[in-house]
């Protein structure tokens, strides 16, 4: 089993690498972690070359244009085009070299905006996504369509996981472009140093389910090795573990021991008010799975950011 990981240098890729190295690679598993330096996956030519070079039997496909709410709102066209190219190239090149299993990565933010809750795996295509990230959402939804077509026409087991908001070491801590937790961690770190207030964007009322990148990595390995379906599976903590942005900001304040004021800039958009996802399917396969408690995972992430401030992506 030779596993090629696209996007191997990012938040999720680094977590998978860590888990493979520290918690055991399977017998007769060989792992290759790619970054954009190995191949620009927007180019079909470069994608085919890297797949021919490594001849993988299995692929974890993470590479994507990724960003938080505010980056999505500015660049819907780029999110749509770049991710459609990357996904088309990776799945086609994988099929060409005979890859038997691909696990791609969707997201709970691609579900319909107007929906019933909790969201489950069957609802992906039931209506338009939230307008803030429709480019990313439609490109990601197409992976699910492609997977079904690869199975129907070629019997390929190309599947996808659907994580909620991910966080952990090696995240993109960019304040402007990143997701909420790395953004707040970076802002709180600076506010603490400068003796200024921490500014949380939006009202603080939207709710999110956060999954620690190392927990996600462990689940990714299980999906790669054992999950038998082409249909996707939501990888999430339970609905009861959903937190508001205000609760998340308070948790960052606590983890970084920030003593200053916390203010809310309500001129900034809130994005989706919630995207509460059901992890019932995951629980039916993995009733035993242990999720790292949120506060502990956040503390580990903050400690990593402080220790790696000079080199962290920001
Ligand atoms: P990330 O930290 O931003 O990493 C993105 C990865 O993609 C990097 O390894 C990057 O390579 C690579 N990449 C980007 N454009 C590329 C290109 N044109 N050619 C080759 N490689 C390219 O993202 P992440 O958070 O780990 O996300 C991984 C996957 O999880 C993505 O598919 C994302 O949509 C999905 N996801 C993420 C979240 C979240 O909250 N972060 C939530 C749900 C789903 P370089 O390092 O060389 O730039
Ligand atoms: P989303 O979950 O896909 O919407 O993406 P984000 O991870 O960017 O989370 C966006 C939510 O966090 C919105 O409700 C924002 O108003 C809120 N938020 C609060 N402060 C920040 C911040 O500093 N950065 C980001 N990206 N979002 C923030």
Q: For 291-311, what is each residue's pLDDT tens digit?
A: 999 999 999 999 999 999 999
What is residue 14's predicted lDDT score, i.e. its pLDDT? 98
pTM: 0.97
Pocket test for ligand 1, best of 4, 5, 6, 7 (most atoms within 8 A of CB): 7
Which atom of ligand 2 approaches the CA of 165 most closely? Answer: 2
**Residues within a 6 A CB radius of ligand 1:** 7-13, 35-37, 40-42, 62-66, 86, 105, 107, 163, 165-166, 172, 179
CA 178 to centroid of ligand 1, rounded, Å:
12
**Residue 54 falls inside a structural domain:** yes
Pocket test for ligand 2, best of 106, 270, 271, 275 (most atoms within 8 A of CB): 271
**Residue 188 falls inside a structural domain:** no
**Residue 48 falls inside a structural domain:** yes
Band (165; pLDDT cuts 50, 70, 90):
very high
Strand stretches in the chain, DSSP E: 2-6, 30-33, 58-61, 101-105, 157-163, 165-167, 198-201, 207-208, 210-212, 233-235, 243-244, 262-265
Band (27; pLDDT cuts 50, 70, 90):
confident
The mean pLDDT value for 274-280 works out to 97
Which atom of ligand 2 approaches the CA of 272 most closely? Answer: 4
**Residue 305 falls inside a structural domain:** no
Q: Is 309 a catalytic residue?
A: no
**Residue 105 falls inside a structural domain:** yes
> Closest by alpha carbon to 91, among 35, 143, 31, 154?
143
- What would the pLDDT profile of 118-132 be if each residue is shown by its tens digit? 999 999 999 999 999
What is residue 88's predicted lDDT score, i.e. its pLDDT? 98
**Residue 93 falls inside a structural domain:** yes
What is residue 108's predicted lDDT score, i.e. its pLDDT? 96
What is residue 277's predicted lDDT score, i.e. its pLDDT? 97
What is residue 44's predicted lDDT score, i.e. its pLDDT? 98
Contact 220, 211 (CB under 8 A): no
CA 74 to centroid of ligand 1, rounded, Å:
18
Question: What percent of the chain stands above pLDDT 70?
Answer: 100
What is residue 24's predicted lDDT score, i.e. its pLDDT? 80
What's the whole-number average pLDDT of the chain? 97
CA 35 to centroid of ligand 2, rounded, Å:
26
Q: Is 108 left (phi over 0), alpha (psi -120 to 50) or beta?
A: alpha
- What would the pLDDT profile of 200-239 be if each residue is shown by its tens digit? 999 999 999 999 999 999 999 999 999 999 999 999 999 9
Which position among 70, 85, 117, 136 bears the catalytic label? 136
Q: Show the domain range for 124.
A: 2-167+209-239
**Residue 177 falls inside a structural domain:** no
CA 89 – CA 170 distance, rounded (Å): 26
What is residue 250's predicted lDDT score, i.e. its pLDDT? 98
Contact 184 CB / ligand 2 (< 6 Å): yes
Name which residue leads in pLDDT, 18 or 24: 18
Band (25; pLDDT cuts 50, 70, 90):
confident
**Residue 259 falls inside a structural domain:** no
Q: How far is the first Cα of the chain from the last one, in angstroms, to the nearest whole number?
A: 35
Band (261; pLDDT cuts 50, 70, 90):
very high
Number of domain units in the chain: 1
For residue 164, is pLDDT > 80? yes
DSSP state of 287: T
CATH of the domain at 145: 3.40.50.720
Low-confidence winner among 20-29, 155-164, 232-241, 285-294 (lowest mean pLDDT) = 20-29
């Amino acid at each position: 089993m030779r596993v090629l990981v696209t996007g191997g240098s990012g938040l999720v890729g680094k977590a998978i690498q860590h888990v493979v190295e520290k918690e055991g690679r399977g017998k007769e598993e060989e792992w290759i972690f790619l970054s954009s330096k190995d191949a620009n996956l927007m180019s079909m030519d470069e994608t085919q070359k890297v797949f021919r070079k490594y001849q993988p039997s299995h692929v974890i496909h993470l590479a994507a244009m990724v960003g938080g709410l505010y980056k999505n709102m500015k660049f819907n066209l780029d999110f749509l085009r770049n991710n459609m190219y990357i996904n088309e190239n990776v799945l086609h090149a994988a099929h060409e070299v005979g890859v038997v299993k691909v696990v791609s990565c969707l997201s709970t933010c691609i579900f319909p905006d107007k929906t019933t809750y909790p969201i489950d795996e069957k609802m992906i295509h039931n209506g338009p996504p939230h307008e803030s990230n429709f480019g990313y959402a439609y490109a990601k939804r197409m992976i699910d369509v492609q997977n079904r077509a690869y199975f129907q026409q070629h019997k390929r087991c190309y599947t996808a996981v659907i994580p909620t908001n991910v966080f952990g070491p090696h995240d993109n801590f960019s304040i402007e472009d990143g997701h909420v937790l790395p953004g707040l961690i970076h802002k709180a770190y600076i506010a603490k140093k400068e003796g200024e207030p921490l500014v949380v964007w939006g009202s603080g009322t939207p709710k999110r389910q956060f999954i620690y990148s190392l927990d996600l990595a462990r689940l990714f390995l299980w999906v790669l090795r054992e999950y038998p379906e082409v249909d996707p599976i939501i990888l999430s903590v339970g609905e009861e573990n959903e937190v508001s942005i205000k609760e998340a900001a308070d948790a960052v304040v606590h983890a970084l021991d920030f003593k200053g004021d916390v203010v809310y800039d309500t001129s900034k958009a809130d994005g989706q008010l919630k995207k509460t996802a059901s992890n019932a399917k995951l629980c039916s396969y993995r009733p035993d799975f242990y999720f790292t408690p949120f506060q502990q995972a956040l503390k580990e992430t903050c400690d990593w950011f402080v220790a790696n401030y000079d080199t962290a992506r920001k």
